[in-house]
């Protein structure tokens, strides 16, 4: 239980860190101010500000975010009538605006806000010490910070460092980089696993072994037999064969195979396996393996492409077979998967991490508003019409997408709880 929880937190943390670092890195390269880089959600438990970015760790290890200038609004922290304190430099410019009651500024100037502009002309005005006879106006430094209500100190967001001030290619790369990093992580981890396991699957149509008393054994199949056809489907590799068998639960299959250069024919009825509400076919055969160095090196790429194909196949089934919540999984499903992976040791956990990473990358690129793919779609539309997408339209689309994703997450989480724990 404890090991599963620790592994779950580490896996989730790595996935989020790698994904968000992609956005962070390319945003910085494009001159976009990253105001906050957060691992986790909810109340913060640690923060540090460095090179203009505030790094935070938050209490719930269920996500994270990169908060870029122009993607949020300081009116959430500042509003007319709010009592704040100001830190001034030697030139009388504001370097810090404290809008939190959780901290105090040394020799801070008390101000009740009347109005402010922290994007264009950079100023703030208000009444000093509640003296409403005069409105005092202060210039705000370009690199000034604001201490928000929860005590987090972040840079203000002038227009020249906002997301939309970057070029369109830079914005597109920033949106794509999170998924790209997940793909890179998946490939690297699969290569590492290839050098950790005892032997590497050959992905051939030749059998490694046959399980005793299995449907394959009863059909007369033996180790080293080469399966060339199942029903009318030609078999050239293990991926094709295992995928076809998996899609035929409890069905009789006509099998053509080669043994010692002689072609034979037999039939076998797959065993029906039900797992997580879905049915799979099983013959009781294992894949042939090798310890070749080149095969170990190529294992990473093979597993990467195989996993991507599997995910796209699953997405395709949602449209061809009908949508089901069982096709999706949230944090609860990931926790259950982590529990299974930890029972397989380090290689099991690493393989699960790699699979989740490519899954996260692909799902994030779906053209759904509020996801990276939805943002990229808006970027493409902007390139086609050759003018920026209206801000109100983009905000409305993203809000609708976010609401849809939150509703879907609630439904998926409840469905996962029923599947795995009830």
Alpha-carbon dihedral sign for residues 163, 164, 166, 167: positive
The CA dihedral of 194, 195, 198, 204, to the nearest 10 degrees, is 40
SS (H, E, C) 246-278: HCCCCCEEEEEEEECCEEEEEEEECEEEEECCE
CA distance 140 to 260: 83
Q: Catalytic site residue 148?
A: no
Catalytic one of 20, 148, 153, 394: 20
CA distance 109 to 102: 16
Give me the active site residues, please: 20
């Amino acid at each position: 239980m404890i090991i599963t929880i620790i592994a779950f937190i580490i896996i989730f943390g790595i996935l989020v860190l790698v994904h968000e670092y992609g956005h962070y890195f390319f945003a910085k390269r494009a001159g976009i101010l990253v105001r906050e880089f957060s691992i986790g959600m909810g109340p913060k438990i640690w923060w540090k500000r460095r090179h203009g970015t505030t790094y935070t760790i938050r209490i719930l290890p269920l996500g994270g975010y990169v908060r870029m200038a122009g993607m949020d609004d300081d009116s959430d922290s500042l509003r007319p009538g709010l009592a704040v304190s100001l830190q001034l430099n030697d030139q009388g410019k504001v370097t810090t605006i404290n809008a939190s009651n959780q901290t105090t500024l040394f020799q801070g100037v008390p101000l009740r806000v009347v109005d402010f502009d922290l994007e264009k002309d950079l100023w703030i005005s208000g009444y000093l010490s509640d003296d409403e006879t005069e409105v005092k106006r202060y210039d705000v430094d370009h690199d000034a910070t604001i201490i928000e209500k929860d005590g987090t100190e972040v840079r203000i967001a002038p227009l020249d460092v906002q997301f939309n001030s970057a070029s369109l290619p830079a914005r597109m790369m920033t949106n794509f980089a999170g998924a790209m990093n997940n793909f890179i992580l998946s490939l690297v981890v699969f290569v590492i696993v290839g050098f950790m396991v005892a032997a590497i699957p050959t992905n051939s149509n030749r059998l490694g072994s046959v399980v005793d008393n299995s449907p394959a054994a009863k059909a007369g199949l033996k180790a080293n037999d080469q399966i060339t056809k199942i029903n009318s489907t030609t078999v050239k590799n293990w991926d094709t064969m295992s995928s076809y068998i998996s899609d035929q639960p409890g069905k009789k299959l006509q099998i053509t195979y080669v043994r010692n250069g002689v072609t034979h024919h037999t039939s076998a009825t797959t065993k029906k396996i039900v797992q997580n509400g879905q049915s799979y076919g099983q013959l009781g055969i294992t894949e042939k393996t090798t310890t070749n160095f080149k095969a170990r090196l190529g294992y990473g790429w093979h597993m990467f492409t195989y996993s991507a194909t599997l995910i796209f196949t699953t997405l395709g089934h949602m449209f061809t077979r009908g949508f089901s919540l069982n096709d999706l999984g949230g944090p609860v499903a990931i926790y259950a998967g982590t529990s299974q992976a930890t029972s397989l040791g380090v290689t099991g956990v690493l393989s699960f991490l790699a699979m989740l990473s490519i899954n996260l990358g692909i799902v994030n690129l779906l053209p759904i508003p509020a996801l990276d793919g939805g943002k990229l779609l808006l970027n493409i539309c902007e390139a086609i019409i050759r003018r920026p997408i209206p801000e109100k339209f983009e905000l409305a689309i993203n809000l609708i997408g976010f609401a849809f994703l939150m509703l879907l997450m609630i439904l998926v989480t409840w469905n996962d709880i029923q599947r795995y724990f009830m």
